[in-house]
Structure 1
Amino acid sequence: MAISVIIRKIRNRLTTFGNRLYYYPYLHCKGDNLIQERVYIRGFGEFDNRLSVTLDRRAKINHDVILQGSGKIVLGENSFIGSFSVIGANESVVIGKNVMIAQGVSIRDTDHNFDDLHKPMFNQGIKTKPILIKDNVWIGYGAVITKGVTIHSGAIVAANAVVTKDVPKNTIVGGVPAKILKRREE
């Protein structure tokens, strides 16, 4: 084994251990996980609830990922979040087993209210609805997953797609807004 590989493995273990200690109030790890450098876990202080992040066995978070909110984020067994992705949960974002989330993905269970034209949008509150990403899903680079969406098992979300509705089992979706491009059984 090359020295550089050994050094990288040691650095990853140290970074994971440091993140587990630093984010102890928010982060709950089940088994062997990998959390790379510059991962930020931030609760929103103005909300009553407290952010909870749970990583199942062999879950991996690459560098420069932001996990934020006041709700619950669950990353299932053997799943990973690619670099520069953001997950915001004020209610819940639950990600199943063997899910691949590419770089630059945005997953958010919240929208701001904007109906009152006489009041700044910032002061109108938020709407939340949980997101569920089931097992064996691949979410491509730069995709956006919006509140209330369920992505069923075996689905693929194309790069830069904006998912605003549920994605059926074993389908490939893409576009803005995302539409079914193909069924994987065909």
Structure 2
Amino acid sequence: MNRIKYASVFKIEGKTSIEKRVNIRPFFNAKTPLKVILKNNTNLKHDILIQGSGTLVLGENSYIGSYSVIGVNSRIEIGKDVMIANAVSIRDTDHNFKDLNVSMLKQGIQTEPVYIKDNVWLGHGVVITKGVTIHSGAIVAANAVVTKDVPENAIVGGVPAKIIKYRNE
């Protein structure tokens, strides 16, 4: 049903697979519409939530695992051959909170794009925060919280994520 209701949100460029219960929640009061661009041979597993008013690009041969949440109010670009495990959260937005006299709900948001380059593996339960770039060949260990850029071919883990080693070591 959502596939029909939100068909205008999707731009599909080749063969794709969208499993059951992929929930699309555009923010209708936003200045820009939510857009989801799926390149060739992509897969959205079941029970994913994609919400916001920005643009999500999922590159060729990439997939997003079940129970993941993508919050996009600016831009999230996911490259080619990217594996995103189950229960991953990727967000390009934070709420403002500095004014103690105004409810955080009313203080607005800050956005910065998230870039996940080619050939990246995000383990189960990973959290990616706004403004982060994960460079090609990187691996992010299960349940890591990524708050800073991850170098090419680095293996990171922890809260916040830190470099454990490089894949060629």
- In which range does the TM-score fall when normalised by the shorter chain? over 0.9
TM-score, normalised on structure 2? 0.98
- Any stretches of 5+ residues in structure 1 without a counterpart? 1-17
Choose between structure 1 and 2: higher strand proportion.
Answer: 2
Counterpart for residue 178 of structure 1: 161
Answer whether contact 2:137 2:153 (CA < 8 A) is retained: yes
Aligned residue pairs, count:
169
Larger Rg, first or second structure (1 or 2): 1
Please give the per-residue CA displacement for 1:21-72, whole angstroms capped at 9, x wherever unaligned: 3321101111110000000111111211100000000000000001110000
TM-score, normalised on structure 1? 0.89
Please give the per-residue CA displacement for 1:82-113, whole angstroms capped at 9, x wherever unaligned: 00000011000000000000000000000000
Please give the per-residue CA displacement for 1:129-161, whole angstroms capped at 9, x wherever unaligned: 000000000000000000000000000000000
Counterpart for residue 120 of structure 1: 103
- Any stretches of 5+ residues in structure 2 without a counterpart? none
In 1: Cα distance, 2:52 partner to 2:116 partner:
18
Answer whether contact 1:19 1:35 (CA < 8 A) is retained: no
Counterpart for residue 59 of structure 2: 76
After superposition, the CA RMSD in angstroms is 0.9
In 2: Cα distance, 1:88 partner to 1:64 partner:
14
Please give the per-residue CA displacement for 1:106-125, whole angstroms capped at 9, x wherever unaligned: 00000000000000000000
Counterpart for residue 44 of structure 1: 27
Counterpart for residue 39 of structure 2: 56
In 2: Cα distance, 1:162 partner to 1:56 partner:
27
**Alignment partner of 1:166 is 2:142:** no
**Alignment partner of 1:98 is 2:81:** yes
Answer whether contact 2:2 2:24 (CA < 8 A) is retained: no
In 1: Cα distance, 2:3 partner to 2:29 partner:
24
Secondary structure of residue in 2 paired with 1:25: helix
In 2: Cα distance, 1:41 partner to 1:178 partner:
29
In 1: Cα distance, 2:65 partner to 2:111 partner:
24
In 2: Cα distance, 1:104 partner to 1:22 partner:
25
Q: Which amino acid aligns with 2:52?
A: G
Q: Which amino acid aligns with 1:114?
A: F
Percent identity (aligned): 62
